Structure 1
Amino acid sequence: MKTLRSLYATAAAASMLAVALPASAQQLSIATGGTGGVYYPIGGGFAEMINNHIEGAQATAEVTGASVENMGLIMRGDADLALALADTVYQAYTGTDDFEGRQIENTRALASVYPNAVQLVTLTESDIESIADLAGKRVSVGAPGSGTELNARALLEANGISYEDFTPQRLNFNETADAIRDGDIDAGFWSVGPPTSSILNLAATRDIRLIGLSDEEVANAQEEEAVFAPYQLAAGMYDGMDEAVQTIGIPNVLVVNADMDEELAYQLTQLLFENTDELIAVHPAANDTTVEFTMESTPVPLHPGALRYFEEVGAEIPDRLRP
């Protein structure tokens, strides 16, 4: 990652971001997710980077219900930046699926930051060995308005499983971990950049098992959602996880409103890619924050300010990312 990133570093990196921003852009709100996931530390880390590097700007990371809620905040102008799953971003931009009748055409991207992994967790003592075994169980499908629920539902429905087959619980990450620990539910879904703190904490107190997906289940999920891709959870990621586990991954996108000031969008994009090490120090998921990942994974057009940065560093920009 270091080598790839260094190809895009410019001589101006050390002295950049000295331009004061318009008064309207000085207070920035970053919509993230729950405190037990990755959005909140990533958003908080980026807020700190903004405060330290962009003169006159003050940013704050806000706890939210994550992807679906965040797109509404961007649409209404109640947040300046937001993290959201690629499928949620695309549905909002096109007015499809859960966003039918409420299209958010003013969505623009600054970057794809890192991929989420859908992680299905149960206790080792459980008889759940596959997603088919969720039948008749109590299962957390994620917080209301979260990308986790969208991903879990798409994965399950693509493989012939509906909410009627089990008892769904809509819990956030920390609530899901607590409920599994206490025996209140049998399994729970996370769609989050691994490793995530709430699963790490659960694995430190109880013996857990991550449920893998078969090649056929992955293929079925990809037919349902084009942004899904095979993803391997590495052995040793969590206590007691002796083998790699196959699941699906989904990019996370940093989005803004199309009305954002172009110079601000440019500086934010430059900050993200030329000071990535600061974000990696906050959470290892940022190791995937590269220009290449953004070009490959972003599902909606880039903001003109971001586009200007990528043109300056010589990125090969697909036509689909140009407004």
Structure 2
Amino acid sequence: MLQSIARRSLALLAATPFVALCLFMTATSAQAQDMPRTMIWTSYDLGASGHAEASAIADAFGREYGMRVRIQPSGSAIGRLQPILNERADIGFLGNEAFFATEGLFDFATPRFGPQDLRVLMGKVNSFGMAVAADTGIESVADVEGKRVAYPAANPSSSLKCDAMLAFAGLSRDDVEVVTFPTYAATMASLSENKADVTCTVTATGQMYELAESPRGIKWLDLDASDEAGWARLNDVAPLFKPVSEAQGAGLSEDNPAQLMAYRYPVLTVRSDMDDDTAYAVTKALDETYGMYKNATATAPRYAIKQAAVPPIDAPFHPGAVRYLKEIGVWNDDSEQWNEARLERLNALRAAWDEIVDQGEELDDDAFADLWSERREEALAELEAQ
């Protein structure tokens, strides 16, 4: 009898690791089953941080879940977004074109596009600010009035951010001397070359480091987080920015941070009709593989889900992503309120677009854009009045 009990005990002990292994494999398989076997992603060109980060995430998904990802790089907003709209790509690692596309702005203000029904999974936090040479005597955004401000030609993303920061101090382009440069790089070099007094840029570029190390030095103009009226004016330009204390970049450190404006890049953007379970599984995978890709670039640690998956952002969050964020306690009532308002805004603009499409059939692109701009402003005013 004792021998029989001993044999049963040994058998149970031997089976225990197998049972644990089976449970682990079942849990892992459940995650893997919800993940697509293949996906196509779009991103900025080779060499861009967004492409490097997309590649690192794709590698993590391949190693962890066996997913095969093909990345299609493009140097244009349309090139990154069109494959998603045409259902030839699943996720776009986008810039502010995610916002422009949902708003029907710039390239998307033509009869071919209009406000697009997009959703997001998350977006890495980045900072953007107004930089001046330290010897100019410019101490605040309000002091920029009447000064030469560098704007890049044909770069609505950078120009929008610069407009927003001017609005923080109650200014607009009419209150400054706009100096247009052919490229974004040229706007950053304009301070060292004394061709402009102010430039709007990210903090960690070569041109900004060169200015910081020159005899002139560099100063970032603070956007005080406690200035509620200033931030309200800033977000009237585009409701996707929030305050950030930035310690990385030219002239900055943990002991000397600047109070700047946070935006998202890349914004992981999908169609609204992505299956909820797929959006849930991908968002979960982004969180669970974070340790595998967080060192891909200097700012990749900012993919941490508590930073990257909360509003504000360029478009409404996908319900599948929200489900996972609620599960892990990242999503709260403020997030829900923001998302509902953002959906309401998107739906109002899409309805306004439908009203004018037939009216504009005979118009050229410029005339149609003017018609849409007027109707868009009316729709937003009507929404604000509700």
**Same fold, TM-score > 0.5, yes or no:** yes
Conserved? CA contact 1:142–1:189, under 8 Å: no
Cross-structure match for 1:119: 129
- Give the deviation of 1:247 after TM superposition: 2.6
- Alignment partners' CA distance in 2, 1:200 and 1:41: 22
CA distance in 1, matches of 2:337, 2:252: 45
Q: Following the alignment from structure 1 to structure 2, what is the Cα–Cα distance between the partners of residues 140 and 34?
A: 27
CA contact (8 A) 1:110 1:254 kept: yes
SS of aligned partner of 1:212: coil
| Match status 1:287 vs 2:296 | no
The counterpart of 2:178, out of the listed 167, 173, 183, is: 167
2:102 pairs with one of 93, 98, 108 = 93
Q: TM-score, normalised by structure 1?
A: 0.69
Counterpart of 1:60 in structure 2 is 71
Which of these two proteins has the greater Rg computed from alpha carbons? 2
Alpha carbons of structure 1 residues 139 and 319: separation in structure 2 relative to 1, 3 Å: closer
Partner of 1:131: 141
Call closer, same or farther: CA 1:223–1:196 in 2, change over 3 Å.
same
User: Given the alignment, which residue of 269, 272, 278 partners 1:255?
Assistant: 269
| Aligned counterparts of 1:149 and 1:261: Cα–Cα separation in 2 | 35
Identity %, equivalent residues: 20
Quick check: 1:202 aligned with 2:210?
yes
Offset at 1:188?
A: 1.8
Cα distance in structure 2, aligned partners of 1:89 and 1:210: 27
Contact 1:232–1:244 (CA under 8 A) maintained in structure 2: yes
Structure 1 Cα separation of the partners of residues 244 and 36 of structure 2: 42
- Could you say if the C-alpha distance between residues 41 and 56 of structure 1 is closer, same or farther in structure 2, counting changes exceeding 3 Å? closer
Is 1:273 aligned to residue 282 of structure 2? no
Residue pairs, 1:178-257, within 5 angstroms: 178-190=189-201, 192=202, 196-198=204-206, 201-202=209-210, 205-206=213-214, 207-213=217-223, 215=227, 217-234=230-247, 237-239=249-251, 243-252=256-265, 253-257=267-271
- One-letter code aligned to 2:173: S
Q: Secondary structure at the match of 1:141?
A: strand
Structure-2 separation of matches of 1:84 and 1:221: 22
1:32 is matched with which residue?
Answer: 44
CA RMSD of aligned residues (A): 4.3
Structure 1 residues 22-62: Cα deviation after superposition (integer angstroms, max 9, x where no partner)? 68x44x233237956x5344334334334444424133262
The answer to whether the 8 Å contact 2:42/2:81 transfers is: no
| 8 Å contact kept, 1:108–1:255 | yes
CA contact (8 A) 2:212 2:218 kept: no
- The whole-number CA distance in structure 1 between the counterparts of 2:171 and 2:301 is 34
Unaligned runs of at least 5 residues, structure 1: 1-10
Query: How far is the alpha carbon of 1:281 from its aligned partner?
Result: 0.9
- SS of the residue corresponding to residue 254 of structure 1 reads strand
Q: How many residues align?
A: 303
TM-score (norm 2): 0.60
Rounded Cα–Cα distance in structure 2 between residues aligned with 1:63 and 1:71: 9
1:297 equivalent among 298, 312, 315: 312
Residues of 2 paired with 1:45 and 1:171: CA distance? 32
Offset of residue 105 of structure 1:
3.4
Q: Please identify, of 144-153 and 306-315, the stretch whose mean Cα deviation from structure 2 is larger.
A: 306-315
Judged with a 3 Å threshold, the aligned counterparts in structure 2 of structure 1 residues 319 and 133 are, in CA distance, closer, same or farther, namely closer
Map Cα deviations across residues 103-139 of structure 1 (whole Å, 9 max, x no partner). 333302112x333322112333445433344456553
